[in-house]
Structure 1
Amino acid sequence: MIAFRKCHGPPQIVGCWWRPSHATCTLSFSTSSRVRSLGGTSNPNEYCKDLVLKHDYEGYLTAQFYPRQYQNGYYALRAFYIELSMIKEAVSQTSLGQARLLFWRDAVRDIFANKPPRHPIALGLYQATQTSRLAPYHFQRIIEAREQELHAQSHLTTESITSHAESTASTFLYLLLSLLNLPSATLSHAASHLGIAQSFTTLLRAFPFHASNGLMIIPAEITAKHGVNQQQAFIRGETSKALEDAVFEFATIANDHLITARDMFQETGGKVPQEAMPVFAAAIPVISILRRLEAVNFNVYDAHLQARDWKLPWHIWRGYYKRTF
């Protein structure tokens, strides 16, 4: 595990393990429509799997550790999450985004009424509901959080962005636990903190993309504290000591949530129950991002941060079989 120390000059972490998430996986509506027209509804499982493979490399890697009988359900849930994650960037008007979210709100209702719409992801989700006890509330919570993004894309406080992360990334992990039929307060608590860490590190890795669209993903209370020049970050695409300090603080919060998730398994020596490890394997990519942030002194514009971690498949495999993260 890593303990960090803040130094003068660019922020650094010294002699430590992170107390250990994409750019958010995205898919444009136009691409989705095109793929659906190529036979998606005739083979929804393959459609969802292909979607994850193309747009969520890390999610595809962890999919391999789900029991075979749950893999189609996993791909359907992940595809649902991908589909919704892009709506904000895909629409030019709030009303268009609301219309797409309304479709999914109605689709979830119809799925649980045993009349899923002819959409490959909806059909895949319907199949998953036949073998697992998935709660419609979790789907609706994610939809509601994505709708809030349409109206307020930036966050003023850490509390606000934490609440949003819990409503999206953490809630998605709750769905994955439900997919595996693993009701447990301990697992849910750990998943809550892991989801927040995953959400924050995903945002940090995607910082250049969001900044190019004029969006500051770090809460205003943190950027104001460090005196971040948003014009320098947005228009010039440059780092600065102030920005690196803000990134360091935000990454530290993510790191603390990851430690809290890990601490939930202290009674078992830090080992996650084998049946739950497919879900918690999602922590391994989070650790990878945090370590690479450390390696570039929290410069979110460093190209090395965007490069794919070629060791990640091995790290996920090792973490899964050691039952640790």
Structure 2
Amino acid sequence: MVLSQRIAFRAANAAAARSVCSRPHVRCSRLTHSHSHSEQSTHTHTHTNTDADSHSHAHSHSHSQHHEGVPRPADRADPQRIDGTSPLVEDSTSGLSLEKARQYCTQLVADGDQPSRMITAFIPPSARDAHLALAALSITLQRAVSPSITASAAVSRIRLQYWKDTVSKILNGQAPPSEPVAILLSHVVATSSTSLSKGFLRKLVDTRTSRLGDPPFPDIASLAEFGEGAFATRLYLLGEAMPVDRSQILPLEHVYSHIGRAAGVADVLSDLPTAIQTRGRVTLPIDVMVKYDLTEEDILRRKDRTDAQLRHRLTDCVFEVATHANDQLITARTMLAEITQGKKLNDATFAPMLTAVPTKAWLENLERFDFDIFNDRLTGMRWKWTLPWKLYRAYMKKVF
């Protein structure tokens, strides 16, 4: 082999060694125009302030690899330390800069949550750090509670406790550990033009923590409640970080709530194939499974491949769960129309609602494949090139 060929061969090997495997994280949904859940007629929304920073929300409806210079997180392996920190973190005196923390979180969101990466372009510059920090925190927590099949529950508990302690320190005004997500989150809390609600941030962490071990959802209401804690709270916090008066955000939190609930239901539903294949869990609501005479063993063994009747019952079950997510989006649109009375919202107040766009897009794809949740094409089409266009159109028209 001549020298030039050897050089080219070594360069190719070096490039391959540096490549980082990534896969998009599941997230979204949409469906037919049915509107069946009965709770939509009653809306109770209360806020209680226990101190200047504490804010609770009640509503009646019931997811790194150290690269020199720019840190880049790995996705599949999730090579965090046992305490939940990135290998990027050396110690509390490593002096990780805010800019490197921002770069890390940006890459983490790009690798783990494609819709949130796309939505970043529509977030006002002053609120982008908040958007990235909240999305990165959610990804980190989700990976901790949904580890690979080889990871132990004990390691997951250690990681979750690390993040609970870290968030508590940040909210109490203490210096964060030298961990990129913690550094950016601390910066957001310290520099936000309005005081971010401690209650919402704690609820986000607690809700994600409650999913350790994939406990079953007894009914659709509990599934929607997960969406409230894991997704709607992110929207509330993002709304609070927007450069607008708080009085403009408060009336829209009902809309944020329904969008978050829809996103939560769709997220769990779209994660079902992964939960079955890698974690041996069925995350469909128990009451809906009973209604359609489905057992966890039948789904885990994938008997739907050979049993046509069981396959039909499974698609009916998926349809009913997806319908609930779609109903939540319909309610959100209806409430938005009532609030705006035909007037367009400003960009900052509408930006958190863009989460509804990928949710609706995924549900439309699910409907296209006749609610076959195991259809390989459903996963392959999830973030097709039309999503950026749909986000842009929704942003310009202020509708979703």
TM-score, normalising length: structure 1: 0.86
Q: Deviations over 1:179-214 (max 9, x none)?
A: 215533321111111011011112222221112222
Could you tell me whether the CA contact under 8 Å between 1:107 and 1:122 is conserved in 2?
Answer: yes
Could you tell me whether the CA contact under 8 Å between 1:186 and 1:264 is conserved in 2?
Answer: no
Could you tell me whether the CA contact under 8 Å between 1:281 and 1:320 is conserved in 2?
Answer: yes
- Structure 1 residue 86 corresponds to structure 2 residue 143: yes
Superposed counterparts of 1:70-109, under 5 Å: 70-90=127-147, 92-109=151-168
Picking from 267, 275, 281, the partner of 1:202 is: 267
Q: Deviations over 1:218-238 (max 9, x none)?
A: 100001101124334222374
Aligned-partner residue type, residue 189 of structure 2: T
What's the CA shift for 1:50?
A: 1.0
Could you tell me whether the CA contact under 8 Å between 2:126 and 2:243 is conserved in 1?
Answer: no
Matched position secondary structure for 1:3: coil
Which residue of structure 1 lines up, in the alignment, with residue 40 of structure 2? none
Residues 299/74 of structure 1: CA separation in 2 closer, same or farther (3 Å cut): same
Unaligned runs of 5+ in 2: 1-30, 37-62, 64-74, 306-310
Which residue of structure 1 lines up, in the alignment, with residue 79 of structure 2? 30
Could you tell me whether the CA contact under 8 Å between 1:292 and 1:305 is conserved in 2?
Answer: yes
Aligned-partner residue type, residue 205 of structure 2: I
Residues 228/35 of structure 1: CA separation in 2 closer, same or farther (3 Å cut): farther
Could you tell me whether the CA contact under 8 Å between 2:127 and 2:243 is conserved in 1?
Answer: no
Superposed counterparts of 1:91-170, under 5 Å: 92-112=151-171, 113-132=173-192, 133-150=195-212, 153-170=215-232
Residues 272/202 of structure 1: CA separation in 2 closer, same or farther (3 Å cut): farther
Matched position secondary structure for 2:374: coil
Matched position secondary structure for 1:150: coil
Could you tell me whether the CA contact under 8 Å between 1:111 and 1:117 is conserved in 2?
Answer: no
Aligned-partner residue type, residue 138 of structure 1: F
- Structure 1 residue 264 corresponds to structure 2 residue 335: yes
Q: How many residues align?
A: 306
Which residue of structure 2 lines up, in the alignment, with residue 254 of structure 1? 325
Which residue of structure 1 lines up, in the alignment, with residue 397 of structure 2? 322
What's the CA shift for 1:270?
A: 7.8
Could you tell me whether the CA contact under 8 Å between 1:48 and 1:121 is conserved in 2?
Answer: yes
Looking at secondary structure, tell me which structure has more helix per residue. Answer: 1
What's the CA shift for 1:27?
A: 6.8
CA RMSD of aligned residues (A): 2.5
Q: Percent identity?
A: 28
What's the CA shift for 1:152?
A: 5.5
Which residue of structure 2 lines up, in the alignment, with residue 309 of structure 1? 384
Unaligned runs of 5+ in 1: 7-21
Residues 271/205 of structure 1: CA separation in 2 closer, same or farther (3 Å cut): farther
**For residues 40 and 197 of structure 1, what CA distance do their matches in structure 2 show?**
40
Residues 54/168 of structure 1: CA separation in 2 closer, same or farther (3 Å cut): same
Q: Deviations over 1:82-121 (max 9, x none)?
A: 1001112227443332222221122112213141111111
**For residues 35 and 234 of structure 2, what CA distance do their matches in structure 1 show?**
32
**For residues 253 and 149 of structure 1, what CA distance do their matches in structure 2 show?**
21
What's the CA shift for 1:40?
A: 9.5
